Structure 1
Amino acid sequence: MTISTTTHLNFRGQAREALELYRGVFGGDLVAVTYAQAGAVTDPAEADQVMWGQVASAAGFRVMAYDVPAHTAHEPGVNAVFVSVRGTDADELRGCWDGLAEGATVRVPLAEAAWSPLYGMLTDRFGVTWVLDLEVPWAG
């Protein structure tokens, strides 16, 4: 399995603007998927906000970001970063999940999601929030 970790930044309505800044600074390609595009709108006012975004450059820079929905608590500087683990082997990813899950708070159970056959989020016993997903090409 190939595995990588990426810093995942959380914003309230500013993810696209932040990603555009990071692309301007570091170069690379920007991809942004809105809540509407992912079929995950919980508040129509947030439909065009970023549910998943990324800047990745050929030089190796990569950062992900999203807009925290209004129904989820968010204080800038608090819960500001997720560690995103993207893997290519579902069984190995499940093994990583199982290892992190001991004593953790599961925020989203590891299961199929609209954008990936395997996705989950948990906060480990040390307070670090991990997002694990099976890497697949975006077909949007």
Structure 2
Amino acid sequence: MSIRLNPYLIFNGNAGEAIYFYEKALGGQIMGIMSFGDMPSVSDHPVPEEARDLVMHALLKVGDSELMFSDAFPGMPYQQGSAVEIAVVLDDEAQARKIFDALSEGGEVVMPLQKTDWSPLYGMVKDKYGVSFQVNVAGEQ
């Protein structure tokens, strides 16, 4: 089993600006930036126009570490400086379910575990201590 924990930094519309700042400040390399508008349309949940250019996910490699970035989706609560999530990246779906269930106990499921365009199994949970986690089974690269 393989497991990685990555800091996931959440911004309020300026994640694109922030990733370039951290790239320069930390001597990192941007591995990719995807906007909410880059995602395929889903008729049940269309991306609002004001979200299309916001960063849905970006990855900055710094040495042997990775920082992940996203903008808060419009309408989601945001408090500057405290919006850090932990991305739990696994290679085993059973282990991902076990960790997700454990973190959910006494907490709040924000997004149930489900297949996404980037992962065979992905979900979000806020644990009973208020810490937000994204549980993600690594998809094929």
TM-score by length of 2: 0.88
- In the alignment, which residue of structure 1 is the partner of 2:85? 82
Distance of aligned partners of 1:43 and 1:8 in 2 relative to their CA distance in 1, 3 Å threshold: same
What does residue 54 of structure 1 align with? Answer: 59
Indicate the residue corresponding to 2:35 in structure 1.
34
Partner letter of residue 56 of structure 1? K
Structure-to-structure mapping, 1:115-126, within 5 angstroms: 115-126=118-129
SS of the counterpart of 1:69?
coil
Distance (Å, rounded) in 2 between the aligned partners of 1:96 and 1:45: 34
For structure 1, list consecutive stretches of 5 or more residues without a partner in the other structure.
none
Partner of 1:18: 18
Aligned mates of 2:20, 2:56 — CA distance in 1: 15
Stretches of 4+ moved more than 4 A in 1? none
Q: Which residue number in structure 1 is paired with residue 68 of structure 2?
A: 64
Which residue of the other structure, out of 101, 105, 128, is the alignment partner of 2:104? 101
Cα deviation 1:11-67 (Å, max 9, x = unaligned): 11111111111111223331111111123652112212110111013x213111101
Structure 2: give runs of 5+ residues left out of the alignment: none
C-alpha RMSD of the superposition: 1.6
TM-score normalised per structure 1: 0.89
* Count of aligned pairs: 136
